[in-house]
C-alpha cells in the first residue's frame, strides 16, 4: 500500500509522477484530485490501473464520463458522513449512465439511510430532502462538543432498538427509481443571492459539463457596488471559453439569478493537501469588466417601452436596453418592490413579486408577461391604457405650465 505524503497530495504534478512511477492497480482519492490528475497527462497508457475509488466530495456525471473515456478501469464511489466511523453508502459507477449527478448508491452492511423532510418524515422517490444516516457505524457524538452533538444527532424514529439515533448529514439527496440515493449538494453550500437560495455545487456541475471547461469553482463575492453575487473560477482545456459563451450555455440549465456575474480564467484551481479545491486561495480581485454592460438595444414594443420607462424611473438612469440586467444597473430589493408596484398599477394585473427577481432583463420579463396568465392582447391593452394615462398626464402638466 502506498500512502501519498501531504506535500505530494498538494502538488498534483509531483503526485502524478509518483503514481506513474509506482503503477498502483487501485487508487483512492477525492473527485477533485482525480480531475486534477487526469488533466494534461498521458493517462490513456495507464493500463496497469484497474480500479479507482472516490470519496470526500461530489462525483459529477461529467467526471465519470471523462474517466471512462480515459481508463479501462472500474470506478466506485464511497460516501462518508462525518458522524459515521466508516463509509455509509457505496456505488459502482456505470459507463454511459447518463446521470448528471453520481448516485451515492446504497447503504453498506449494518447501515441505514433515509431521505427526510423537516418533520423527520420519509420522502417518496424523486423528492429531495435531507440525508440521515443510522446503524452500527454511527459515532457516539462530537468529542467535548455536546451542543454540536445535539445539533447533528437525533433519536431514530424508525428503529426498534431503544436509544438508536440518526446522524443529520446536511446533504440534500433523493431516491431515484432504481432505489439508489442521489446526492444533490450540501445544505451549507447554499448561498443567498437576490433572495434566492442557490446551491453552488450544482452551479459548478453545470459549468463543468461545458466541453471547454476542465475545472470550476463558484463562490460568493462582492461586486464593485458592494453587492454579494456569484463569481466563477474556470480552468479550461487549453483556452477557457469566454464569459459570454459560458453565460449563454448556463442559461439553458439555470435560472438567471444562478448565473455568475463574473468569470475568472485560471490555469488550474488551487487545491488543499486532501485534493479539494482551496476556495480561500482563489483570487479575490475580480476583472474590471465582470459586470460590463451589454450592448444597448432599444425597446421595440409598447410593453418593452413601458417596462424600460419604469426601470429608468426607479433606478434613476437615462436609458435602459431590453437586454440590460436590473441588478447590474444598480437595482436592489427595495427598488424591485417599487418597480413591481408601478408595473402592477400600470398593467392592472397581478404579478408575483418573485418573478421580477427571476426575470431580470426587460426582454425576459416581457416574454414572461406575454406567456403568463394573461394573453398577449390583454397585456398590450394594459400597456396601451398605461401609455394613454401617461400621455394625458403630460398634456395636463403642459397646460398648467402654459398658464
- Write down the pLDDT at residue 272: 80
HEC profile of the chain: CCCCCHHHHCCHHHHHHHHHHHCCCEEEECHHHHHHHHCCCCHHHCCCCCEEEECCCCCEHHHHHHHHHHCCCEEEEEECCCCECCCCEEEECCCCCCCCECEEEEECCCEEEEEECCCCCECCCCCCEEEEEEECCECCCCCCCHHHHHHHEEECCCCCCCCCEEEEEEEEEEECCCCCEEEEEEHHHEEEECCEEEEHHHHHHHHHCCCCEEEEEEEEEECCCCCEEEEEEEEECCCCCCHHHHHHHHCCCCCHHHCCCEEEECCCCCECCCCCECHHHCCCCCCCCCCCCCCCCCCCCHHHHHHHHHHHHHHCCCCCCCCCECCCCCCCHHHHHHHHHHHHHHHCCCCCHHHHHHCCEHHHHHHHHHHCCCCHHHHHHHHHHHHHHHHHHHHHHHHHHHC
Q: Is the pTM of this model over 0.75?
A: no
List the beta bridge partners of residue 166. Answer: 134, 154
Tell me the domains of the chain and their CATH numbers: 6-188 (3.40.50.12780), 194-281 (3.30.300.30), 302-402 (1.10.1200.10)
- Write down the pLDDT at residue 336: 85
Give the span between the Cα atoms of 229 and 222, in whole angstroms: 6
> Is residue 101 a contact partner of residue 128, using CB atoms and an 8 Å limit?
no
- Write down the pLDDT at residue 369: 87
- Write down the pLDDT at residue 71: 85
> Is residue 269 a contact partner of residue 217, using CB atoms and an 8 Å limit?
yes
pLDDT along the chain (403 residues), means of 10: 71 79 87 76 71 83 83 89 78 76 80 90 88 88 87 89 88 85 73 73 84 88 74 86 86 80 88 79 72 71 90 88 81 82 86 83 88 48 51 54 57
Q: DSSP 3-state helix, strand, coil percentages of the chain (rounded to 5)?
A: 35, 25, 40
Give the span between the Cα atoms of 299 and 369, in whole angstroms: 15
Amino acid at each position: 500500500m502506498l500512502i501519498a505524503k501531504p506535500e505530494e497530495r498538494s502538488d498534483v504534478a509531483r503526485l502524478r509522477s509518483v503514481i506513474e512511477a509506482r503503477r498502483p492497480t487501485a487508487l483512492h482519492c477525492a473527485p477533485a484530485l482525480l480531475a486534477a490528475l487526469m488533466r494534461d497527462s498521458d493517462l490513456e497508457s495507464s493500463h496497469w490501473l484497474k480500479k479507482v475509488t472516490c470519496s470526500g466530495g461530489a462525483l459529477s456525471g461529467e467526471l465519470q464520463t471523462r474517466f471512462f473515456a480515459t481508463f479501462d478501469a472500474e470506478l466506485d464511489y464511497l460516501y462518508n458522513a462525518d458522524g459515521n466511523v466508516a463509509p455509509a453508502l457505496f456505488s459502482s459507477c456505470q459507463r454511459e449512465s447518463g446521470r448528471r449527478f453520481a448516485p451515492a448508491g446504497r447503504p453498506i452492511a449494518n447501515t441505514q439511510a433515509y431521505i427526510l423532510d423537516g418533520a423527520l418524515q420519509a420522502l417518496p422517490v424523486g423528492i429531495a430532502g435531507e440525508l440521515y444516516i443510522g446503524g452500527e457505524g454511527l459515532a457516539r457524538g462530537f468529542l467535548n462538543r455536546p451542543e454540536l452533538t445535539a445539533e447533528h444527532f437525533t433519536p431514530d424514529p424508525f428503529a426498534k432498538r431503544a436509544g438508536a439515533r440518526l446522524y443529520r448529514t446536511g446533504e440534500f439527496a433523493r431516491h431515484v427509481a432504481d432505489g439508489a440515493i442521489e446526492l444533490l449538494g450540501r445544505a451549507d453550500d447554499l448561498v443567498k443571492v437576490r433572495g434566492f437560495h442557490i446551491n453552488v455545487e450544482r452551479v459548478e456541475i453545470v459549468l463543468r459539463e461545458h466541453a471547454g471547461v476542465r475545472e470550476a469553482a463558484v463562490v460568493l463575492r462582492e461586486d464593485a457596488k458592494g453587492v454579494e453575487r456569484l463569481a466563477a473560477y474556470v480552468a479550461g482545456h487549453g483556452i477557457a471559453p469566454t464569459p459570454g459563451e459560458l453565460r449563454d450555455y448556463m442559461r439553458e440549465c439555470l435560472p438567471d439569478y444562478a448565473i455568475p456575474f463574473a468569470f475568472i480564467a485560471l490555469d488550474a484551481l488551487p487545491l488543499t493537501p486532501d485534493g479539494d479545491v482551496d476556495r480561500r486561495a482563489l483570487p479575490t480581485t475580480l476583472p474590471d469588466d465582470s459586470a460590463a454592460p451589454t450592448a444597448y438595444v432599444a425597446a421595440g414594443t409598447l410593453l418593452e417601452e413601458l417596462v424600460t420607462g419604469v426601470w429608468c424611473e426607479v433606478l434613476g438612469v437615462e436609458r435602459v436596453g431590453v437586454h440590460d440586467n436590473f441588478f447590474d444597473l444598480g437595482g436592489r430589493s427595495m427598488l424591485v418592490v417599487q418597480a413591481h408596484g408601478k408595473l402592477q398599477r400600470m398593467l392592472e394585473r397581478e404579478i408575483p413579486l418573485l418573478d421580477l427577481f427571476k426575470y431580470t432583463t426587460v426582454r425576459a420579463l416581457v416574454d414572461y408577461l406575454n406567456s403568463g396568465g394573461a394573453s398577449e392582447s390583454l397585456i398590450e391593452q394594459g400597456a396601451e391604457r398605461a401609455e394613454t394615462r401617461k400621455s394625458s398626464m403630460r398634456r395636463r402638466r403642459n397646460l398648467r405650465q402654459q398658464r
